[in-house]
């Protein structure tokens, strides 16, 4: 599939996955890969963290948009911002006739009461704000780094939940609009992220069925992070000391230990990838494990290469 | 400096905290198992455990009473999967003046939403379950897994959740409508409520109002209870164990937890770093030099594996050491990355052994 077509298929991509599977890095990678196809991208983090912008080499983002520039200071066509439920609630109240008292309400605890009375209202308001940005064409593509797995389902389910609780009022209409956004694949899709390990794969499968069946949202390909690249010729049994003289015994033992460990882990990963493919009929895009202690802009560029290649190898859907 | 064994032996409550995805539940379960192996009677309260681990512990569904796990240990081992909802119901029943009041609250829709919506409810109920098990005297050691959060304070604030909700101006307005100075606040709140009704619908506001009215007279009970629980968490009976992985971002979050706990006057008794890569003596630079030399195919492949390994692990030990430099007197336990997930008692046994005595030099004091 042509990456340009891929990123043009929906205006909002929601990236969701369990904690620790590299969800934020994947969202940043998607943003970079989409920007390479000439699109303007708005990357939104909703968990209250500011981890996405630093991955792209920018200062941690806030509620205001931050322009991401490359290492020589040129604009990249990517903007980042955060959008927390509390910020969304205060802004929404301000827009709906509570301007003067919105902050005081937040401080007094009245908001907490409202949020408790209407489950999902905060998540709904975040989705509502995303919908507003989408409708206003704030960018060609909006990439949302969603809350971690368990909560992601609640997040996506929030419009339906609110429709049930608040049967009338402004918030009811807001929920209808958010639901319309989520259930229209031309406007919004969810990309689930995991790593090839047992528990994350289980959670991915559970989340995907919950998201599709209960929320009626369209799922894009699954991104599997941290896949160990296969090393051709890796075989400790055939690795003989005599083949090379300038290596000490300790170094040679390390090489054998590293080779054995790598093969073990790789085999386990392949098992999980096969299991995932068998249990979840969605295309997989695999991103390589990078052997660095932490990720930064150069690594995100590498991952964007792999993501683009993965998209190119997807079969076109009619 | 005391080891993890002393911690298991000498405390009555262990709270495992840390971010998600670092093996917190496994560490909590292994800690309880280690205590049972040590002859103690230990129970672990888990929150949303991975399915196979839950199966191994015999806790397939949410429950309020611990299941006893039989096995070859001299002590006793119990486990439960926290049921936030029914734990909250019990708390209400225990604190209500009579059955009628309890039923009024339990049937209120606003109340029913609390268990799923109000942030901190899960932490609150974990703490409630902890104190309940502690007070039952059935157990020598209660180990609690905490809900995944970036905020250690969520757990420490949790006991006050309901007390604080009942301190809410809305509540005070509804229960004491004519209390002098508050009258002005009240009329402002009344105005807010009327306007909110237009936004979220009147029935939602009515339910909330009914909820607060139904709590009349229960505030002191909740507050007293909260203070007792906070005392338990703050003194020597309780040990906080911080669970992390060697990745830079999770260590950063661990550091954030440490500061928060310290800020609340609490000590971290142990830091458990899971998923440590096996240590190699060859440096990353040397590994790369070997890998880039002209080598026989299989040797070259092994050299690449070593270079990958050492560069991924580079700095792990240093970063963990840096973190430990900021914790006074805490025990460090490094748990190696295991070939597969821990989902049976054997696996837990392995971790328990690592926690207690270390293996292959992974226990550092």
Give the sheet arrangement for strand A12-17, strand by strand.
A66-69, A75-82, A41-45, A141-148, A12-17, A188-194, A222-227, A284-288
Higher pLDDT, B364 or B1: B1
**Of A271, A241, A265, which is closest to residue A254 (Cα–Cα)?**
A241
pTM of the model: 0.85
Q: Which of A16, A17, A20, A54 to mutate to test the interface with B (most CBs of B within 10 A)?
A: A20
**CB-CB under 8 Å, A170 with B199:** yes
> Shortest CB distance from A244 goes to which of B52, B296, B315?
B296
pLDDT of B323 > 80? The answer is yes
Give the pair of three-digit tokens for residue A200.
Answer: 């994350």
* Residue A129 · residue A155 · CB < 8 Å: no
- CB contacts under 8 A, A 113-172 vs B, are 113-121, 148, 150, 165-172
Query: What is the mean pLDDT of the segment spanning B237-246?
Result: 93
Q: Which residue shows structure tokens 């080598």?
A: B295
Per-residue H/E/C for chain B: CCCHHHHHHHCCEEEEECCCCCCHHHHHHHHHHHHHHCCCEEEEEECCCCHHHHHHHCCCCCECCCEECCCCCCCEEEEEEECHHHHHHHHHHHHCCCHHHHHHHHCCHHHHHHHHHCCCHHHHHHHHHHHHHHHCCCCCEEEEECCCCCCHHHHHHHHHHHHHHHCCHHHHHHHCCCCCCHHHHHHHHHHHHHHHHHHHCHHHHHHHHHHHHHCCCCHHHHHHHHHHHHHHHHCCCEEEEEEECCCHHHHHHHHHHHHHHHHCCCCEEEEEEEEECCCCCCCHHHHHHHHHCCCCHHHHHHHHHHHHHHHHHCCHHHHHHHHHCCCCCCEEEEEECCCCCCCCHHHHHHHHHHHHHCCCCCEEC
Please check whether residue B59 touches A, CB under 8 A. Answer: no
Minimum distance, in Å, between the CA of residue A3 and any CA atom of chain B: 30
Total domains, chain A = 1
At residue A1, the pLDDT reads: 92
Please check whether residue B316 touches A, CB under 8 A. Answer: yes
Please check whether residue B304 touches A, CB under 8 A. Answer: yes
Rounded to an integer, what distance in angstroms lies between the CA atom of residue A156 and that of residue A183? 10
**pLDDT for B87-97, tens place per residue?**
999 989 988 98
Contact partners, residue B44, CB within 8 Å, separation at least 6: B28, B29, B31, B32, B57, B77, B78, B79, B80, B143, B144, B145
Low-confidence residues in chain A, pLDDT < 50: 318
Please check whether residue B285 touches A, CB under 8 A. Answer: no
Q: How many CB pairs under 8 A join A and B?
A: 204
* Residue A127 · residue A159 · CB < 8 Å: yes
Minimum distance, in Å, between the CA of residue B162 and any CA atom of chain A: 12
Query: What is the mean pLDDT of the segment spanning B334-350?
Result: 84
Q: pLDDT confidence of B364, banded at 50, 70, 90?
A: very low
- CB contacts under 8 A, B 168-207 vs A, are 168-170, 188-189, 192, 195-205, 207
Question: Would A245 be classed as within a structural domain?
Answer: no
Contacts by B102-106, CB closer than 8 A, 24 or more apart: B104/B214, B105/B211, B105/B214, B105/B215
Helix (H) or strand (E) holding A222: strand A222-227
At residue B249, the pLDDT reads: 79
**pLDDT for B42-71, tens place per residue?**
999 998 787 778 888 888 877 888 999 999
* Residue A193 · residue A21 · CB < 8 Å: yes
Question: Would A238 be classed as within a structural domain?
Answer: no
The 3-state DSSP class for residue A13 equals strand
pLDDT of B318 > 80? The answer is yes
Higher pLDDT, A288 or B155: A288
- CB contacts under 8 A, A 242-271 vs B, are 243-244, 246-247, 250-251, 254-259, 261-262, 264-265, 268
**CB-CB under 8 Å, A113 with B298:** no
The domain of B298 spans 4-361
* C-beta neighbour count of A86 within 10 angstroms: 15
**CB-CB under 8 Å, A115 with B293:** no
CA nearest to B279 within chain A: A254
At residue B182, the pLDDT reads: 45
* Residue B77 · residue A228 · CB < 8 Å: no
- CB contacts under 8 A, A 55-94 vs B, are none
**pLDDT for B250-288, tens place per residue?**
888 889 888 888 888 888 999 999 989 988 999 999 999
Q: Chain-centre distance of CA A303, in angstroms? A: 13
Lowest-pLDDT range of B181-195, B199-213, B265-279: B181-195
Q: How far is CA A125 from CA A84, A85, A262, in A?
A: 9, 7, 45
At residue B359, the pLDDT reads: 41
Residues of B in contact with A202 (CB under 8 A): 50-51
* Residue B46 · residue B57 · CB < 8 Å: yes
Q: Which of B174, B175, B200 to mutate to test the interface with A (most CBs of A within 10 A)?
A: B200
For chain B, what is the mean pLDDT? 84
At residue B365, the pLDDT reads: 30
Q: Residue B46 is part of a domain; what is its CATH number? A: 3.40.50.300
Minimum distance, in Å, between the CA of residue B229 and any CA atom of chain A: 24
The domain of A182 spans 3-229+282-312
Question: Would A109 be classed as within a structural domain?
Answer: yes
CA nearest to B277 within chain A: A261
Backbone angles phi, psi at A192, to 5 degrees: -90, 145
At residue B181, the pLDDT reads: 47
Rounded to an integer, what distance in angstroms lies between the CA atom of residue A84 and that of residue A71? 29
**CB-CB under 8 Å, B308 with A243:** no
Q: What sign has the CA pseudo-torsion A213, B122, A222, B26?
A: negative
Query: What is the mean pLDDT of the segment spanning B353-364?
Result: 58
Give the pair of three-digit tokens for residue A170.
Answer: 């402004």
**CB-CB under 8 Å, A235 with B117:** no
Rounded to an integer, what distance in angstroms lies between the CA atom of residue B328 and that of residue A82? 35
pLDDT of B108 > 70? The answer is yes
Please check whether residue B22 touches A, CB under 8 A. Answer: yes
At residue A105, the pLDDT reads: 66
Please check whether residue A275 touches B, CB under 8 A. Answer: no
Give the pair of three-digit tokens for residue A208.
Answer: 């995907």
The 3-state DSSP class for residue A187 equals coil
Rounded to an integer, what distance in angstroms lies between the CA atom of residue A113 and that of residue B206? 12
Please check whether residue B357 touches A, CB under 8 A. Answer: no
**Of B20, B83, B252, which is closest to residue A150 (Cα–Cα)?**
B20
Q: Residue A209 is part of a domain; what is its CATH number? A: 3.40.50.300
**Of A143, A148, A151, which is closest to residue A123 (Cα–Cα)?**
A151
The 3-state DSSP class for residue A122 equals helix
CA nearest to A266 within chain B: B339
Per-residue H/E/C for A250-298: HHHHHHHHHHHHHHHHHHHHHHHHHHHHHHCCCCEEEEECCCCCCCCHH
At residue B175, the pLDDT reads: 57
Residues of A in contact with B204 (CB under 8 A): 117-118, 165-166, 169
Question: Would A260 be classed as within a structural domain?
Answer: no
Minimum distance, in Å, between the CA of residue B52 and any CA atom of chain A: 9
**CB-CB under 8 Å, A294 with B312:** no
Residues of A in contact with B315 (CB under 8 A): 293
**CB-CB under 8 Å, B295 with A243:** yes
CA nearest to A293 within chain B: B312
- CB contacts under 8 A, B 201-240 vs A, are 201-205, 207-208
At residue B362, the pLDDT reads: 36
Percent of the residues in chain B that have a pLDDT greater than 90, as a whole number: 34
Q: pLDDT confidence of B122, banded at 50, 70, 90?
A: confident
Total domains, chain B = 1
Please check whether residue A202 touches B, CB under 8 A. Answer: yes
């Amino acid at each position: 599939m042509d990456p340009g077509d891929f990123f043009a298929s929906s205006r909002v991509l929601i990236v969701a996955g369990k904690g620790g599977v590299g969800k934020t890095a994947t969202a940043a990678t998607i943003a970079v890969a989409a920007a390479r196809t000439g699109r303007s991208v708005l990357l939104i983090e909703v968990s209250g963290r500011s981890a996405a912008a630093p991955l792209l080499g920018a200062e941690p983002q806030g509620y205001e948009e931050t322009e991401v520039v490359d290492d020589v200071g040129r604009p990249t066509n990517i903007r980042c911002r955060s959008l927390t439920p509390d910020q969304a609630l205060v802004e929404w109240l301000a827009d709906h006739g509570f301007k003067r008292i919105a902050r005081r309400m937040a401080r007094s605890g009245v908001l907490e009461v409202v949020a408790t009375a209407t489950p999902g209202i905060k998540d709904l308001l975040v989705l509502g704000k995303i919908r507003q940005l989408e409708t206003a064409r704030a960018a060609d593509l909006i990439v949302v780094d969603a809350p971690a797995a368990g909560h992601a389902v609640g997040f996506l389910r929030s419009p339906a939940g609110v429709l049930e609780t608040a049967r009338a009022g402004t918030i009811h209409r807001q929920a209808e609009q958010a639901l319309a956004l989520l259930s229209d694949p031309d406007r919004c899709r969810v990309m689930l992220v995991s790593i090839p390990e047992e528990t994350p794969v289980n959670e991915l499968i559970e989340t995907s069925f919950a998201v599709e069946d209960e929320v009626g949202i369209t799922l894009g390909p699954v991104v599997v992070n941290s896949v160990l690249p296969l090393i051709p010729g890796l075989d400790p049994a055939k690795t003989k000391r005599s083949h090379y003289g300038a290596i000490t015994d300790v170094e040679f033992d390390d090489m054998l230990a590293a080779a054995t460990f790598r093969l073990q882990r790789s085999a386990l990963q392949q098992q999980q990838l096969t299991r995932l493919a068998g249990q979840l009929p969605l295309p997989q895009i695999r991103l390589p494990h990078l052997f660095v202690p932490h990720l930064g802009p150069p690594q995100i560029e590498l991952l964007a290469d792999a993501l683009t290649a993965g998209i190119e190898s997807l079969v076109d859907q009619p | 400096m005391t080891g993890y064994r002393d911690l298991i032996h000498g405390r009555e409550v262990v709270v495992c905290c840390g971010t998600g995805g670092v093996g917190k539940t496994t560490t909590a379960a292994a800690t309880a198992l280690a205590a049972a192996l040590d002859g103690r009677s230990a129970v672990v309260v888990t929150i949303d455990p991975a399915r196979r681990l839950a199966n191994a512990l015999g806790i397939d569904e949410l429950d309020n009473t611990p299941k006893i796990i039989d096995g070859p240990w001299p002590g006793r081992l119990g486990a439960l999967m926290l049921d936030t909802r029914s734990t909250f119901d019990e708390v209400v029943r225990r604190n209500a003046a009579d059955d009628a009041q309890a039923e009024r609250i339990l049937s209120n829709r606003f109340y029913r939403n609390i268990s799923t919506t109000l942030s901190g409810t899960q932490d609150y109920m974990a703490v409630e379950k902890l104190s309940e098990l502690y007070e039952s005297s059935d157990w020598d050691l209660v180990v609690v897994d905490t809900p995944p959060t970036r905020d250690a304070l969520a757990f420490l604030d949790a006991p006050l959740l309901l007390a604080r909700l009942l301190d809410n101006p809305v509540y005070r307005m509804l229960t004491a409508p004519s209390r002098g100075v508050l009258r002005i606040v009240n009329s402002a709140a009344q105005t807010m409520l009327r306007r909110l009704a237009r936004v979220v619908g009147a029935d939602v506001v009515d339910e909330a109002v009914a909820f607060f009215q139904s709590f009349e007279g229960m505030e002191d009970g909740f507050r007293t209870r909260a203070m007792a629980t906070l005392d338990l968490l703050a003194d020597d009976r309780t040990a906080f164990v911080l669970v992390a992985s060697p990745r830079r971002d999770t260590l950063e979050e661990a550091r954030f937890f440490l500061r928060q706990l310290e800020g609340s006057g609490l000590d971290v008794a142990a830091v458990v770093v899971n998923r440590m890569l096996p240590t190699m003596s060859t440096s990353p630079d040397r590994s790369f030099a070997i890998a880039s030399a002209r080598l026989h195919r299989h040797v070259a492949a092994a050299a690449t594996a070593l270079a990958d390994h050492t560069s991924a692990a580079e700095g792990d030990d240093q970063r963990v050491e840096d973190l430990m430099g900021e914790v006074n007197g805490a025990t460090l336990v490094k748990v190696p990355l295991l070939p597969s997930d821990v989902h049976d008692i054997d696996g837990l046994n392995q971790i328990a052994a690592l926690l207690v005595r270390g293996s292959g030099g992974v226990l550092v004091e």
